[in-house]
Each structure stands twice: as structure tokens, then as C-alpha cells.
Amino acid sequence: MTSFPHLFSPFTLRGLEIKNRIFSTGHGTMLAEGGTAGADLIAYHEARARGGAGLIVTEATLVHDSAVYDDGLLQVKNDKSLPGLAKLTDAVHKHGCKVFGQLFHPGREVLHAPDGIGPVAYSASATPNERFHVMPREMPIDLIQEVVEAYGAGGARMRKAGYDGIEVIASQGYLPAQFLSPRVNRRGDAYGGSLENRLRFLREIGEAVRGALDDDAILGFRISGDEMGPEGLQPDEAFEILDGLVDGPWDYFNVIAGSSATLGGSVHIVPPMNMEPGYVAPFAAAVKEKTGKPVFVAGRINQPQVAEQILRGSSADMIGMTRAMIADPEMANKAREGRIDDIRACVGCNQSCIGRILVGYGVSCVQHPESGREVRYGSRAPVGEVRHVLVAGGGPAGMKAAAVAAERGHRVTLCEAGPQLGGQVLLAQLLPGRAEFGGIATNLAREMELTGVTVRLNTPVDRALVEAEAPDVVLVATGAKPFRPPIEGEEDAHVVDAWSVIRDEANVGARVVIADWRCDWIGMGLAEKLARAGSHVRLAVNGNMPGQTIQQYVRDRWLGALHDLGVEVIPLARLYGVDGDSVYLQHTTAGSPIICEDVETLVTALGHEPVDGLADGLDGWSGKIRWIGDAAAARTVEEAVLEGLEAGNSV
């Protein structure tokens, strides 16, 4: 009997039985090929269907030529996409999983046209977008009617391709939401003004899509309960809208939060780890109670325990667990079978999922780089010849390499010089709001345990150990250490590195300057930690802004926290020197000096360099050696785990 009786109970919509309450929400993947599904996208969704999901909602799919967004999205503007979409639905269905399609028009929420130029964007009114700085045109009546027809035609095409249902995106500030908001929609015709008029566009879309479908097909729409912005829908307005639509053709409501239109609202599209799990559930419960309609919900629901609690409280009927299944495509099967400790829990870092998508690359996961790469890494090739593999270093790269090599059948020994596995993950988890990041080490350690890796802690690897073990292959994953270049005047000043501050090993004092070369999570985390401890903090970044190199939803929410804490940000600043009470910086473009006076401590976050002493120690050794992760070049956990996967697959 499952530990999650509500989560694994079937759910029926319009006669369609969904085998459990877990669904993958419509989310961008950047895996589409020419507007349709190719091998990568099909394999990606099939992995989650095989892993036990009850329902998959495929990504936002463009319905009309005025829906300018990105050529990496699916399209149903014509019949060209149908063969690929039919292959996708067949692949999902053969695992007993249902699949819905998602019809999408972004309106003004667009950064550029597919060829990189500024687009002609349409919205309910000529109301500018704050986030992308787009000034749209008011959509004329004839175009509104054409777009409505395109929604209907798109739904019919999806149904022809084998989709079980259709979902219309009216959430997160996209085109239907732009008509719904009284602050974005300033029209004076039949599509603006009163609530009845502002509902007209979405009602017509619903009628067009319902009219294009057979009676058995499901139709729902997604709405943000709170768009989290000054122009966006507020909860009371969302309830009014739902009241006005409850008697329409909709079989379910899918609720979420946030909006693409503002930096603060966009964070809720993919909420990072410092947001409460399941925080949209109270709104879902209110929608369910007020409308009596089936309700789907998402919003950082990363564990089956959280999902079960939401269902037990009757807050929703279906639970969106998208990133949970990016991190572990087998999450549903493992939860159903009671293998809770085996689930590779999502930590909400956003680094390789939405982080890759927003810069134009295919979706993946820092913990499970097989995601999005299923065609290449979806299965493990068993070894023809068993080798003894020695892994030097128990950080993410070493752990992933060891687990993969052992799973393939090699005899693997991992030696870690310290008393604990995890590498720099152990540091990251110590900063405010980052505790969940430590789950990466826990999850990778479990992978090694399940595959039979021999782990030796407090065992540094040197030439003598290698010769005693006599492995066939050594994978060097010894990680990195703080980079400390000479700093003029440091002998007369109090200078400490980031790691010592994170570990609470340094006496920092009341007035601090942080020299942040990497512009990543370290500088921002240090600034928050020290500001919360009562220090006056100046964060000097060698870039345009703190967090410039990390995913924007993580960064932007963090920037707000630093602002509220009174952290002083100094952009475009390189460290030049220091003395007893001042830090000297240089503007990176002007070359002019920036002087910070009345400073007690300079904290350096100047990057890392590989720990490569083993390179000299193994000089001349006859076996095969490969450097991975930070031991090869200091970067991030994403590269470390991917290189661990590649190394484990290649030995």
C-alpha cells in the first residue's frame, strides 16, 4: 500500500481517467525542432511518462503569426507540426500517461523576434511592458477575431495529433491576462472597460476551442491568482474573473502565481529555493471552494509529502511537480513504491532548468544532467570489461562519476580527503536561504550507495595510495580552493576570504566591503549573511550587478532582499588595493578610482582555482587519468555533475 493514498488515487475529468494526481505543467524546454517535436523533446516527455506521471501538459504552443516569441517553441499555426506532435502523444500514451496541449499567445510579453530584431507586439492596449521594455500596439478588432479563430484551429490540430485535452494560458501576464487586467486593458470598445467586456476575449477563445473539439476532449485554462505586480491581477480580481467564467466551457482551472511583465512577478514563474513549498495552494483551495470546479495547482511543489498534504486538505485535485520530475523523472514511481529516500529531490536552484532555457539552451538539471539529454544519456550501457575505477574527491563531480561508473558495472572506490561528502555544496548550504542546496550532496551520496560505490572518508589520494590500489583508471575530482591574488596593502589590513566567512571562522566586524569578482551566489549570500548579522555591507561587483552570472529569478529576488537589508551595491568595480581602513577599487570601464573609507574588513570572493597537486604526484604513472569538475577548471556544480556523468559513461 502506498504512503501517498491521495497522490496515487485516480482522477476523472469528462470521463477521462488520469491514473494519479501528479502532472508536469506546461513549461519551456527549448527542445522543439522547427516548431514541432523531434527526438529530444519526445524522449524528454516519454521519460516522465515512463517514470509514473499521470498527466503531462506540453509546453506553450504558438497559435498565430502575431504570437511572436521564439522559434524554440512548439507551434500549431498550421499542419506541419502534426506528425511530430503525434509521435510525442503516442510515446506518452504507451506508458498509461495522459497528455494535454497548451495554446499560447504572449501578447506584449516578448523580448525579440526569432531573428533577433524587435518585434511588433500586440496587446489589449498600448500599455508598455516593464520587464522587456516593449511598447505594444493595441490589437485591432479584426486581429482579435483572427486570433480567436486561431485558438480554435490550434486546439483542433492538437486533438488530431492525439492530445487528450487542451489548456489555454491565461496566466502570468500573457495575452488573455492582458485583456483581463483593468490596468493593462484600457480599451473603450466591447473588449475593454467593464469586467464583462474584459472577459469577452477569453470567453470567445473558450467557445472557439470547445467548438473545435469533440465531446470527449478536456478543456481548461491557467490563471495567476496574484500576478505580483502593480499592473497585474490581484486575488480579488482573479476570483471575480473565475466567477464570470465558471459557467463556461472549462473543465478545470489551473492556478499559479506571478507575471512575466515585471521582475518581481516573473520570479513566481519558476520560484527559487527561498520561497515556501506549495505556497499557491491556499489560493487553489479558495478557487475550488468558490467555483466547485476541479483545480490544478503548482508552485514549488517538489516533494510527494507536500503534494499529499495539499490533496489531503482538498486544496486541489491535480498537483504540478514539474521540476521534481526534471530532477528525477522516476519520482512518481519511487513515491508510489515507497522508495522515498531514493528520490532525487529538486532543490529549486533554477540553474540548469529555467536557467538554460532563458539563454537559449535545452532544459536540464544540475543534479540529473540526463534530463533534456535522454537521447544521449537516457540509458546506461553495461560494461564489456569490468575495471577498477578510483575517484579522487567526493564533491559533486566525483560522486556523479562514481555512481554512473558503478551503475554500468565497474568496481568503483571513491576517496574523499575530508570527513564529509559534498565539496562546495557544503558551503553553499550555509548561506541564508540556501540550505536546500545541500540536498545535492545527499542525493548524489544516495546514488553512490544504491550502485555499490565503496566510499572512504578522511582519505586523501596521493601517489602511494594509487600504487597500492592499482586502479585501471583514476578520475581526479579534487575540486577547487579560493583564488587569492596579491592585493596591494593587504599586510596592513584585515582581509579574509569568502570561505572563512561562510564557515564563521573569521571575525568580520561592523563595516565590510565584499570584493565580488564572480558576480554569483557567493557575493550575494555573503552580503545577506553579514547584513543580517548587523554589519554595514558594501558589495563591490566586477560586473553590471550582483548575481549577473546566475539565473535571473534567483538573482532578482535576492537583489530585492539585499535592497531591503540596506546593502550598498557598487557595480563595475575591480579590486585595486587596501589599507588599514579603506578599500581601493577601480571602475572597470572608466578606469577611475572608487574609494571605500571607514572599512574594518575586506572579504574577497575572487573566484577559485583547481586543487591540482595530484597532477604532479601522478606524473609518469602508467594508468589512465581524467580530470573533471573544478579539478579541471573552476566553474559551477552544473559543469561538475555533467562532467561526472560523461566520465562515468566513458570509462
Q: Are residues 581 and 625 located together in one domain of the fold?
A: no
Last residue of a domain, one of 376, 394, 420: 376
Convert the pLDDT of each residue in 416-471 to its tens digit: 999 999 999 999 999 999 999 999 999 999 999 999 999 999 999 999 999 999 99
Residue 625 phi/psi, 5° resolution?
-125, 140
Check whether residue 106 and residue 59 sit in a common domain: yes
Sheet holding 536-541, edge to edge: 495-497, 601-605, 511-516, 536-541, 568-570
pLDDT at residue 314 is higher than 80: yes
Is the pLDDT assigned to residue 598 strictly greater than 90? Answer: yes
Same domain, 63 and 212: yes
What is the pLDDT, as a whole number, of residue 386? 97
pLDDT at 61: 97
DSSP states of 599-650: -SEEEEE--EEE--HHHHHTTT--SEEEE-GGGTS---HHHHHHHHHHHHHH
Position of cell 508510489? Answer: 336
| pLDDT at residue 231, as a whole number | 87
Is 174 part of any domain?
yes
Helices 39-50 and 82-93, axial angle in degrees (round to 10):
20
Q: What are the φ and ψ backbone dihedral angles of 165, each rounded to 5 degrees?
A: -160, 170
Averaged over 152-163, what is the pLDDT? Answer: 98
Q: Which three cell numbers stand for residue 528?
A: 545577506
Helix (H, G, I), strand (E, B) or coil at 78: coil
The pLDDT tens digits of the residues spanning 346-369 come to 999 999 999 999 999 999 999 999
Question: Which grid cell is 311?
Answer: 490533496
The C-alpha atoms of residue 614 and residue 612 are separated, in whole angstroms, by: 5
Q: What is the CATH number of the domain that holds 273?
A: 3.20.20.70
pLDDT band at 638; cut points 50, 70, 90: very high
- Tell me: the pLDDT tens digits for 212-256? 999 999 999 999 999 998 889 999 999 999 999 999 999 999 999
Looking at the domain assignment, is residue 547 inside a domain?
A: yes
Give 574-601 as a DSSP string: EEEEE-SS-EEEEETTT--EEEE-S-SE
Please indicate, yes or no, if residue 6 is contained in any of the structural domains: no
CATH number of the domain encompassing residue 592:
3.50.50.60
Cell numbers for 390, please give them: 578510483
The DSSP-derived string for 167-194 is: EEE--BT-HHHHHH-TTT----STTSSS
Parallel, antiparallel or unpaired: strands 318-320 and 22-24: parallel
Q: Are residues 289 and 220 in the same domain?
A: yes
Q: Which of 376, 406, 433 is where one domain is finished?
A: 376
Dist CA 48 CA 85 (whole Å): 16
φ and ψ at residue 182, rounded to 5 degrees:
-70, -15
Assign 530 to helix, strand or coil. helix
Distance of alpha carbon 349 from alpha carbon 190, whole angstroms: 44
Cell numbers at residue 332, please? 512518481
The answer to whether 569 and 547 have CB atoms below 8 angstroms apart is: no
Domain assignment present for residue 38? The answer is yes
Same-domain check for residues 366 and 438: no
Is residue 332 within 8 Å of 376, Cβ to Cβ?
no
Q: Where are the beta strands (DSSP E) in 11-89?
A: 11-13, 16-18, 22-24, 55-62, 74-75
Sequence letter at residue 148: V
Residue 428 lies in a domain: yes
Provide the number of structural domains found in the chain. 3
Residues 362 and 451 reside in one and the same domain: no
Mean pLDDT, residues 528-534 taken together: 98
Helix (H, G, I), strand (E, B) or coil at 513: strand
Domain end call among 313, 347, 376: 376
Cell 495567476 belongs to residue: 224
How does pLDDT run across 583-597, given as a tens digit for each residue?
Answer: 999 999 999 999 999
Q: Is the CB of residue 134 less than 8 Å from the CB of residue 110?
A: yes
In a domain, 237, yes or no: yes
- 441 and 320 in a common domain: no
**Confidence at residue 72, expressed as pLDDT on a 0 to 100 scale:** 81
CATH number of the domain residue 632 falls in: 3.40.50.720
Confidence of residue 603 (pLDDT cuts 50, 70, 90): very high
pLDDT at 118: 85
Same domain as 431, residue 286 = no
C-alpha–C-alpha distance, residues 295 and 23, integer Å: 12
Which pLDDT belongs to residue 2? Answer: 79
- pLDDT given for residue 114 in this prediction: 76
Q: Closest Cα partner for 198 from 129, 252, 269, 124? A: 124
Do 602 and 624 reside in the same domain of the chain? no
Residues 141-159: what's their mean pLDDT? Answer: 98
Q: With a cut of 80, say whether residue 70 has pLDDT above it.
A: no
Asked if 113 and 153 sit in the same domain, the reply is: yes
Q: What ranges in 470-565 are assigned the alpha helix state H?
A: 498-502, 521-532, 552-564
The secondary structure element, H or E, covering residue 46 is helix 39-50
Same domain, 405 and 358: no
User: What percent of the chain shows pLDDT beyond 70?
Assistant: 100
In degrees and rounded to multiples of 5, residue 290 shows phi and psi of: -75, -35
pLDDT category of residue 296 using cuts at 50, 70 and 90: very high
Mean of the per-residue pLDDT values for the chain? 96
By three-state DSSP, how is residue 155 classified? helix
Q: Is 3 inside any structural domain?
A: no
* Residue 531 and residue 628 share a domain: no
Q: Determine the pLDDT at residue 112.
A: 79
Which secondary-structure segment (H or E) carries 514?
strand 511-516
Query: For residue 1, what pLDDT band results from cuts at 50, 70 and 90?
Result: low
CB 24, CB 304: distance < 8 Å: no
Burial of 591 by CB count in 10 Å (0-12 exposed, 13-18 middle, 19+ buried)? exposed
Averaged pLDDT, 636-651: 98
Per-residue pLDDT for 613 more than 90?
A: no
| Largest CA-CA distance found in the chain, in angstroms, rounded | 83
The parent domain of residue 104 ranges over: 11-376
Report yes or no on 276 lying in a domain. yes
Reported confidence tier of residue 115, pLDDT bands at 50, 70, 90: confident
